[in-house]
Amino acid sequence: MSDELKILLELQHLDYMIKDWRNASTRKEFRKIGFQLETDNPVEMLLEKRKKLAERINKPLFQMYERILSRYKDWAVVPVIDGFCGGCFSKVPTELSGQRKVLNNCPNCGRFIYWD
């Protein structure tokens, strides 16, 4: 797995954490089960972490991630499962499976894809 892909996956995880902490009922549930943070505003802290992480990848790649995320509103980076894209469930060409060290996009939906 490439370093760029690892950063994109981390960004995606942060985006979901930010989304969860912005939701008041989810935030209440987290605190109810004992999840505590050192700050009263975890969203601000997570946004700062996201900004620092985004600075570690090149700008065009980050812009592509943002575009994919805004288009699909969910996963921008998905696994290939049994030869199918985990986002659109289309068959991924087999020649891409040999390029696991290179960052690839699904030819159908454009999401970043990776193999486990």
Q: How far does Cα 43 stand from its chain's mean position?
A: 17
List strands edge to edge, sheet with 77-81: 84-85, 77-81, 112-115, 104-105
Give the max Cα distance, the chain.
49
Per-residue pLDDT reduced to its tens digit, 53-100? 999 999 999 999 999 999 988 899 999 999 999 999 999 988 887 777
- Is residue 112 within 8 Å of residue 10, measured between CB atoms? no
What is the number of structural domains in the chain?
1
pTM (predicted TM-score): 0.80
Task: Say which CATH number the domain at 101 has.
Answer: 1.10.287.1490
Write out the residue range of the structural domain in which residue 108 sits.
3-115
Of 104, 63, 64, 101, which Cα lies nearest the Cα of 80? 104
Residue 79, beta-bridge partner list:
114
